[in-house]
Amino acid sequence: MQCHQCQAVNREERRLRRAEVFDALRRLTMRAAEIRPQVVVFEDLHWMDQATEFYLRFITDSIPAGRLMLILTYRPGYINPVEERTFQSRISLSSLSSADSIAMTRSILAVDSLPEDLQATIVRKAEGNPFFVEEVIKSLKEIGAIRRSQDRFVLTRPLDDVFIPDKIQDVIQARIDRLDEAPKKILQLASVIGRKFTHRLLARLAENGGGDEAYLHELKALELIYEKDIYPELAYMFKHALTQDVAYNSLLEKRRRELHYIIGQAMEELYGDRLAENYEIIAYHYAKGEDWDKALEFTIKAAGKANQAFAYREALAYFDQALKITEKVGGATDTATRMSIYEARSELYLVLNEFQHSINESEKMLACARQHGDSIRENKALTAMGYASLWHHDFDQAIEYARQAIKVGEKMGEDSVLAGGLLHSGGG
């Protein structure tokens, strides 16, 4: 059993390592800014992991000292993790005006003028939403309601005869419904994988002997997806998250569940050489596929991975998910697994200096250990509670926990088990 002095040293080493990594990245960025001005863009902060969030907070105060512009984009309602500074500017995007909506339409169609009816329809339907403007135009082109005539677009029929849904989701759904069955199936399969998906994984699911290439080309031409990466392998991405949502919800719930399970299996096979990169995604798919044993396995691995990356809050969130999954598994869950989760959460809270939370997690471990007669884990829980109480400056309680730990160790007759309790009580 690892002594708590060693654990404390390891925790401090991990804190220092994270600080050194962040400082190295900061110095690299600032050095680059000395050579030439730098523009660093972080898109979609609402999907950002906690390690990146900590780094942003870390680098913010260095910005005024260098030729560096930091651009952060995020959805309305998201709370920016970087505290307000005098050198920050916040730009909130408002809805497009009627003139801007018409200008955007002309730009997309590459023309200087538009029919009056078309302008009025775009302004009325889109209500200043640029994505809606784009989707309505594409929809009108696909159904042949507008066509190019030399250097301008003309209406092929009165727009009053054309049904244009009032919601953007319905416009997207109508575009998906107009697809032939094969490309529609490819789009739906991709939506279950995620907003970003690799060609190799999609081909495994499609099982069409490579015939998906033509369908992917069609989907790209319709601007529903686009190529995202080439290295380490070809990957695509939905142009907009809303498109993925609509395609995903067009599948029956039972079919989605089946596909999630199949995707989890396929990812295990296809990415066995770099499985750690995909722990979180595989855990997600197994959970959605309701394979709770596999979901638990990979969620715990994802938590360990986050812990190693110093993303302690993220690790806690994964362990919380793991505990919820154990409820799904029920009695089949190994008791030792639940206790190991409590132990890991206790240690994480200790690293975060949230000592009472650390004690609470160890108490759960203690109750479980006593219920199942596990003296070793009972001792570890009491020792951990004593250690957290010590740091919490609750010295009387720390001594009491240490005494209980010593009693357990004496009954077992193991010196290594006694060590932790003796350390905190000052005995030995």
| Residue 152 parent element (H or E) | strand 152-155
**Confidence at residue 224, expressed as pLDDT on a 0 to 100 scale:** 94
Q: Which of 251, 267, 297 marks a domain boundary?
A: 251
For residues 375 and 411, the answer to whether their CB atoms sit within 8 Å is: yes
User: What total of structural domains would you count in the chain?
Assistant: 4
For residues 222 and 292, the answer to whether their CB atoms sit within 8 Å is: no
**Residue 236 sits in the same domain as residue 203:** yes
**Total Cβ atoms within 10 A of residue 170:** 13
Domain annotation covers residue 268 = no
**Residue 420 sits in the same domain as residue 292:** yes
The amino acid present at 338, given as its one-letter code, is R
**Residue 322 sits in the same domain as residue 243:** no
176: which 2 tokens?
């998906």
Pinpoint the alpha helices (H) of 157-198.
168-177, 181-193
Query: What separation in angstroms does the CA of 349 have from each of 10, 43, 121, 336?
Result: 15, 30, 56, 20
Give per-residue pLDDT as tens, 89-142: 888 888 899 999 999 999 999 998 889 999 999 999 888 999 999 999 999 999
Domain annotation covers residue 77 = no
Q: Kindly report the CATH number assigned to the domain that includes residue 309.
A: 1.25.40.10
**Residue 186 sits in the same domain as residue 246:** yes
Angle in degrees, 0-180, between the axes of helices 181-193 and 168-177, rounded to the nearest 10: 130
Q: Kindly report the CATH number assigned to the domain that includes residue 216.
A: 1.10.10.10
Domain annotation covers residue 90 = no
Ramachandran sector of residue 196 (left: φ over 0; alpha: ψ -120 to 50; beta: rest): beta
For residues 301 and 289, the answer to whether their CB atoms sit within 8 Å is: no
C-alpha to C-alpha distance for 368 and 381, rounded to whole angstroms: 10
Boundaries of domain holding 288: 277-425
Q: Please choose, from the candidates 311, 427, 428, 416, the residue with its C-alpha nearest in 3D space to the C-alpha of residue 4.
A: 416
C-alpha to C-alpha distance for 333 and 269, rounded to whole angstroms: 25
Domain annotation covers residue 238 = yes
379: which 2 tokens?
């001792």
Q: Which of 173, 190, 222 marks a domain boundary?
A: 173
Buried b (16+ CB within 10 A) or exposed e, 388-414: bbbebebeebbbbbbebbbebbeeeee
**Confidence at residue 427, expressed as pLDDT on a 0 to 100 scale:** 42
Domain annotation covers residue 263 = no
Q: Please choose, from the candidates 392, 306, 318, 401, the residue with its C-alpha nearest in 3D space to the C-alpha of residue 353.
A: 392
Domain annotation covers residue 56 = yes
Q: How many residues does the chain have?
A: 428
**Class of residue 230 by CB neighbours under 10 A (exposed 0-12, middle 13-18, buried 19+):** exposed
Which residues of the chain fall below pLDDT 70? 1-12, 208-211, 330-333, 413-428
**Total Cβ atoms within 10 A of residue 345:** 24
**Residue 168 sits in the same domain as residue 131:** yes
**Residue 145 sits in the same domain as residue 115:** yes
Provide Rg for the chain, Cα atoms: 28
3 state DSSP class of 236 = strand
Give per-residue pLDDT as tens, 166-191: 899 999 999 999 999 999 999 999 99
DSSP labels, 70-130: EEE---TTPPPSSPP-TT----PPPPPPHHHHHHHHHHHHT-S---HHHHHHHHHHHTT-H
**Residue 289 sits in the same domain as residue 421:** yes
**Confidence at residue 1, expressed as pLDDT on a 0 to 100 scale:** 41
**Residue 67 sits in the same domain as residue 51:** yes
Domain annotation covers residue 85 = no
DSSP 284: H
Q: Please choose, from the candidates 383, 389, 388, 427, the residue with its C-alpha nearest in 3D space to the C-alpha of residue 404.
A: 383
For residues 331 and 350, the answer to whether their CB atoms sit within 8 Å is: no
**Residue 154 sits in the same domain as residue 236:** no
411: which 2 tokens?
């009954």
Q: Please choose, from the candidates 129, 163, 144, the residue with its C-alpha nearest in 3D space to the C-alpha of residue 242.
A: 129
Domain annotation covers residue 235 = yes
3 state DSSP class of 68 = strand
55: which 2 tokens?
């780094």
**Residue 57 sits in the same domain as residue 155:** no
The amino acid present at 389, given as its one-letter code, is S
Residues 6+ positions from 269 with CB-CB distance below 8 Å:
none
